[in-house]
Structure 1
Amino acid sequence: MNIAFFLPCLTRRKDAPGHMGAMLANHFAEKGHTVFVHVDGNLSRPPVYPLREGITLRRHPLKMTPVSETQILLELGVQRPDVIVGLYTNRACYAQVYFAHRLGVPVILSEQAGSVARREWGLSQEEREAVFLGADRIHLLQDDAAKTVPGHLHSRVRIMPHPVPAARAPAIPGQSEGVKTLLYAARGMVGTDADILLRTFATVSRLAEDWQCLLAVPGWQAGRLQALAESLDIADRVRFQEDEEDLSACYEAAHLFVFPSVTAYHPMALLEAMAHGLPIVGFADCEGINALIHHGVTGLLAAPERREATLAEAMLTLMRDAEKRAVMGAAGLKRYESSFRCDMICEKWELLLNETAGITPPASRSLSTQVPGAKAPLERAFARGAAVNLPEFF
C-alpha cells in the first residue's frame, strides 16, 4: 500500500502529533508499505523525530500558494497514494481534504487538538463539520471527542489513543527512603504549566524535604524557569533536563509525575508516565487529563477551585504515601498495557488504513446527497477558512 502522511510540524517542534505520525510512518514502512511524509516549514531542518531509511520526506513552504499547491498535487500524483492520512492541529486540515478530493484518493483526518485549541485557532463547529464531511474516516483520540461530532458522521469516526512504546525499565514509585523525584515533562506543550508546578512545589517542599523536582522542558524555557526557581528560593531542589526524544532515564528515576495543564489534550507525557508505572497528578477540569487519569486509581485529579492549593494537596497526599504511589503506579501501568500499547494501536491503524483504502474515491460522492441542505453553509465555511482555492472541493 502507498501511504501519504501529512505531518505539519515534524520539522518545526516536538509535539505529540509529530511523535505519533513518525511512529506510524516508521511502523508501516517496516511492514513493507511505501510511505511518503509531507511536512511544511523549515525546508532544510531534519525531522525532530527520526524516520526510517526508505521513507520519502517531502518539504513544502509553510504558507500555501498556488505554486506550492500545484507542486504538492504533482508530487502526490507521482506518489499515487492509496490513502492520505492528515494529522492536524490547525487549519492544515482544509488542505489535506482538498488534495485528497482533487486526486480522488480517500483520506483519514486525524484530529490532534481538543476544544480549547480549536477555539484558539478559530475553527467554528460549522467549519469543523465541513472538513469532516470531506473525510472518509475521522480519527479522534478520546471517546469524549465523538460527542462533538454530528450524528450523521458517527459512522466515519474511529477512536484510538496515541501509541506509546513500552518502558525500557519501570519506575519504582513506592521507594520510601532517600531523595525522591517529582517529574514534569513538557513534550511540546508551551504554556505556564511548569510555572504553576514550581510555585506549588515551593509551597509543598517545606513539608516534604526529601523531594526534588525535575523539569524536562525545551532549552529556551529553562532559563526563565531557573530564574523563577531562584526567586522562589527552591533552585537547589530543582533540576532541568532538555525535553529530548528519549526521556526514559527521567521517568525511571521519578517517583511521581505531575502535569498541571488546563489546556492539554491527550498529552503524550501522561501516557509515557503511565507506561513507566508512575502515579499522576493533574487538574480535574482539563479535558485531556481527566480522561486519562482515573481519580483515586491511577492518580489524583485536583479541583480547579484555588488551583495551586488543591494541586499542593494532591501532590502532598502522594508524596507522603509510598504505598499509595506504588498501588496507583501499578494500576496506571496495567491501564497502559490494556489500552495504549504501541503494537495494539498500530494494529488498529493497519485495519483503519485497509478499510479506508477500499472506499470509493471521494470525487465520486456528492456532498449535497450526504447531508441535505448542507452544501451552501459548508461552502461558506470552506471559503472563510481555506488556505487554498477550495471551492473546487464542491
Structure 2
Amino acid sequence: MKVCLVLPSAYGMRGEVRSTLNLASDLAERHEVEVVSVRRQKEKPFFPVSPAVRMRSLIDSRPGVRHVLPHGQVRTEVALWRMLRSLKSDVLITTRPNISVQAAKYAPKDLLKVAREWGRPAVPAPVLRFYPRLDAVVTATESAQEEWRLLLGQEMVVHAVPDALPGGPWPRSRMDNRIVAAGGRWVPVKAYDRLIRAFATVADKRPDWRLRLYGGGPEERRLRALVRELDLHNHVYFMGTTSDLTGEFAKASIVATTTRTETLGMTVLEALGCGVPVVGFEGAKGPAEYIVTGYNGVLVPEGEAELEMYAAALLALIDDDRRRRSLAAGALETAARHAAAEVGERWEHLIGELRDQR
C-alpha cells in the first residue's frame, strides 16, 4: 500500500509534525510511505524520521535556494494543486483543513482521502462544502471527535485515533532528580508565565528543586524578564530547543503544563512515555484528555487562586516520593496505548474499513 501524508511543513517544531512523522515511520515498516512538506525551511526535519520514509517538498524556502516562480500564496496553491492532481498513492492523509479542502477538490477520485484534524477550522464554510468529498475525518481525541461531529452533522462519520509516540524503547525517568520540566513552543496559549509564577512558590519552599523550560518562541523575552522580576535566575533555566524532548523529560521527576486552550497533547504523551507524572489544569483539552488525577498525574482546577493550587500540587508531589512513583507506573500504562506500532495498526484497520465501504 502506498501512503502519502501531507504537512504544511515537516521541518517545524510542532506536536502534529512529531505525531505525523512518528506514524509515517511506523507505517514505513510495512508500506511505501511518503511525507510531502508543502514548505521546506531547513536541511533536515527537526524531529527524527525513519530513512524508509520518502521526504518531498513543494516549496523550498531554504536560504540560498533560487526560486523560479514568484513568492506568495498563489505559488503555494499552484504547487499543491499540481502535486494533488498527479499523486500516485493509495491513501492520502492531510493534516490541516486548508490542505484537506484542496485534496477534496483536486486529488484523484479513486484515491482514499482522509483529513487528520487536531483543532477546529478557523473558517468552516469551505470545510462544510468540500469535506463530504473526503472518505473520512480522523481526530486525535474523543473531545475533538465530538466537536467535528457537531460541525459536520450527518454528512460524515468522524473517527478518533490517538497520536503516536516514537517507536520504543523510551528513556525511563529514575524519579530521583529534583527537576520539574516543561516543553513546547513559547507562545501565549502555552501560558508559561503561569508556570513560572507558580514555581516561585515552589522555589521559596523547596529551593533545591529546579524548573527546566525546553523550546523556543516569541514569548522568550517576556518570560526571561519575568524570571528576573521574580528573582528566579537560580531556579528557572531556559534550555532551548531539542529534538529529543523525551530524553530530557526522562531527566525530570515531574513534567508541568499550564496551557490554557491547547487541544494537542504530544508533550504530555512524551512525558508519560518516560514514566513521569504530569501536573496540568483541568480546563486544558490536551492534558485533560490523557491525565487522570491519582493515576498518572494531577489536574488542578482553573479559576480563583489557581496559581496557589498549582504550586500546592507541585509541592505535594515533590514531598511524596512514593506517590510520584505510583503515578509514574500509571503514566507508562497510558503511554503504552499510544505506542507507534499500536497506533499504526489502528490506522491500518481504519483504512481497511474505509476501502471496504467503497
The answer to whether the 8 Å contact 2:187/2:217 transfers is no
Are residues 1:251 and 2:249 paired? Answer: yes
Are residues 1:319 and 2:325 paired? Answer: no
TM alignment of 1:153-192, pairs within 5 A: 153=155, 156-165=157-166, 166=168, 168-173=170-175, 175=176, 180-186=178-184, 188=185, 190-191=187-188, 192=190
**Which residue of 85, 88, 96 maps to 2:93?**
85
The answer to whether the 8 Å contact 1:94/1:131 transfers is yes
Q: Tell me the residue number matched to 1:134.
A: 133
CA distance in 1, matches of 2:263, 2:350: 22
Q: Tell me the residue number matched to 1:240.
A: 238
The answer to whether the 8 Å contact 2:246/2:273 transfers is no
Shift of 1:290: 1.2
Aligned residues: 341
Shift of 1:320: 1.7
The answer to whether the 8 Å contact 2:101/2:126 transfers is no
The answer to whether the 8 Å contact 1:8/1:39 transfers is yes
CA distance in 2, matches of 1:54, 1:268: 21
**Which residue of 281, 284, 300 maps to 2:282?**
284
Shift of 1:10: 1.6
Query: Residues 154-195 of structure 1: CA distance to partner in whole angstroms, max 9, x if unpaired?
Result: 6x322111111245331123x3xxx60011011x46225222
Query: Residues 256-303 of structure 1: CA distance to partner in whole angstroms, max 9, x if unpaired?
Result: 111011111131110011111111111111122212111222111111
Question: Identity across aligned pairs (percent)?
Answer: 22
CA distance in 2, matches of 1:103, 1:10: 26
Q: Tell me the residue number matched to 2:229.
A: 231
The answer to whether the 8 Å contact 1:82/1:357 transfers is no
Q: Tell me the residue number matched to 1:112.
A: 118
Which amino acid in structure 2 is aligned with residue 133 of structure 1?
P
Give the secondary structure class of the aligned counterpart of 1:26. helix
Q: Tell me the residue number matched to 1:369.
A: none
Using structure 2 for the length normalisation, give the TM-score: 0.85
Shift of 1:23: 2.0
CA distance in 2, matches of 1:131, 1:76: 15
- In structure 2, relative to structure 1, the CA distance for the partners of 1:59 and 1:185 (3 Å cut) is same
Give the secondary structure class of the aligned counterpart of 2:335. helix
Q: Tell me the residue number matched to 1:372.
A: none
Which amino acid in structure 1 is aligned with residue 286 of structure 2?
G
Deviation larger for 244-253 or 219-228: 219-228
Q: Tell me the residue number matched to 2:63.
A: none
Q: Tell me the residue number matched to 2:21.
A: 22
The answer to whether the 8 Å contact 2:93/2:113 transfers is yes
CA distance in 2, matches of 1:349, 1:189: 31
Shift of 1:73: 4.1
Which amino acid in structure 2 is aligned with residue 264 of structure 1?
E
Shift of 1:222: 4.4
The answer to whether the 8 Å contact 2:199/2:311 transfers is yes
Give the secondary structure class of the aligned counterpart of 1:41. strand
Shift of 1:140: 0.8
Which amino acid in structure 2 is aligned with residue 217 of structure 1?
G
Q: Tell me the residue number matched to 2:334.
A: 335
TM alignment of 1:189-204, pairs within 5 A: 190-191=187-188, 192-204=190-202
- In structure 2, relative to structure 1, the CA distance for the partners of 1:359 and 1:38 (3 Å cut) is farther
Give the secondary structure class of the aligned counterpart of 1:285. coil
Shift of 1:91: 3.0
CA distance in 2, matches of 1:21, 1:139: 13
CA distance in 2, matches of 1:157, 1:139: 6
- In structure 2, relative to structure 1, the CA distance for the partners of 1:26 and 1:18 (3 Å cut) is same
CA distance in 2, matches of 1:68, 1:209: 51
CA distance in 2, matches of 1:299, 1:219: 27
Give the secondary structure class of the aligned counterpart of 2:260. coil
Q: Tell me the residue number matched to 1:262.
A: 260
Shift of 1:20: 1.6
Give the secondary structure class of the aligned counterpart of 1:288. helix
Are residues 1:206 and 2:204 paired? Answer: yes
Give the secondary structure class of the aligned counterpart of 2:285. coil
- In structure 2, relative to structure 1, the CA distance for the partners of 1:218 and 1:354 (3 Å cut) is same
Which amino acid in structure 2 is aligned with residue 170 of structure 1?
R
Shift of 1:224: 4.1
Query: Residues 35-92 of structure 1: CA distance to partner in whole angstroms, max 9, x if unpaired?
Result: 3322223466543334425604032388542x6545444434544111211012x533
Using structure 1 for the length normalisation, give the TM-score: 0.78
The answer to whether the 8 Å contact 2:245/2:270 transfers is no
Structure 2 segments unaligned to the other structure (5+ residues): 61-70
Give the secondary structure class of the aligned counterpart of 1:281. strand
Q: CA RMSD in A?
A: 2.6
Deviation larger for 242-251 or 209-218: 242-251
